[in-house]
Structure 1
């Protein structure tokens, strides 16, 4: 009882990393940056939200978890602490846009090994704590802003 399934889900929040070659790598679960760094020690990972025109490019900490719904870039070590110019920023934007477009047009399938339980269920409009055993059950749902 209380197991909820949905066949209507259209997307899963993922941490997205644009690799040096323009490919997109996605993770549907939090991972630490060191996981990517150990695969390729010639790169660093930077958060796209922290990249500003004219500022120095900085790396996220190797112990930092990549956040779901966030976009990151794998950059060559020689670019660490260098200033981000207009041309490079435009090139990164094109690279990200192209990678995201390629993956959105392909058929992706996410597989989950477990079903998730719904923690709270309402019964006839109450908060679910009335102790009644019978009644119409509806899951409490709300909009998740993106």
Structure 2
């Protein structure tokens, strides 16, 4: 999908370019955001959400099935993953569904803007790509 890339930069006094530590971000079907500062295996997330599967936002495209993250895979820091209902595992992703996921991610990530801004760090939702219909 390439929907959820981000860039971060500091607005702290003195021009210091510190960044928040990289995290793994998981967007739940209800829009809740879960963040992990340490590597975590997909199976740990899936054991808490047995009716869902995980998708890496970087690998989701229009008119393709959502690619499942293998249970034993370690989730990557600085990546955004979507928890998707199992009922959607065999359906192809439409442009509207990908846009809806992008809006959901944007809403979830906007909360981080508030948190990071209060710490002097700005988090920006920076691009939406690969949304052309094939």
Do the two structures share a fold, i.e. TM-score over 0.5? yes
Give the root-mean-square deviation of aligned CA atoms: 1.8
**Bigger relative contact order, structure 1 or 2 (CA pairs below 8 A, ≥6 apart):** 2
Flag structure 2 segments of 5+ consecutive residues without an equivalent: 1-15, 120-134
Aligned residues: 103
Work out whether 1:58 is the aligned partner of 2:33: no
Q: Give the aligned partner of residue 102 of structure 1.
A: 111
Q: Which structure shows the bigger proportion of residues in strand conformation?
A: 2
TM-score between the two structures when normalised by the length of structure 1: 0.66
Flag as ranges the 4+ runs of structure 1 deviating above 6 A: none
Conserved? CA contact 1:58–1:81, under 8 Å: no
Larger Rg: 1
CA apart distance, 1:57: 1.0
TM-score between the two structures when normalised by the length of structure 2: 0.72
Cα separation, 1, equivalents of 2:99 and 2:17: 36
CA apart distance, 1:40: 1.3
Q: Give the aligned partner of residue 47 of structure 1.
A: 56
Q: Which structure shows the bigger proportion of residues in helix conformation?
A: 2
1:24-67 deviation digits (Å, cap 9, x = unpaired): 11111110000011111000000001100111112110000000
